[in-house]
Amino acid sequence: MTEEWKPTADQTNGVISSSCEFIKDEANDLLEELQCPPDYIAGILKSIASDFESKEKKDA
């Protein structure tokens, strides 16, 4: 049985936090530039997440 991976507090407060902020900023920039509904940006982000979930299943 494999233990679930969890980030350290330093990772959460450092690289993860800054990456999340960067992604949110980029999504907001795209929203402003495209003048599209927020749901469209959410769809893009969900598609990216789905790609990572698919990769995880392939690697298992």
Provide the residue ranges of all domains of the chain, joining segments of one domain with +. Answer: 9-56
Which alpha helices (H) appear in the chain, and where do they start and end?
A: 9-11, 17-34, 38-59
What is the separation of C-alpha 49 from the centre of its chain, rounded to a whole number of angstroms? 6
Render pLDDT for 28-56 as a digit per residue (tens, 0 to 9). Answer: 999 999 999 999 999 999 999 999 998 76
CB 16 within 8 A of CB 7: yes
pLDDT grade, residue 60 (50/70/90)?
Answer: low
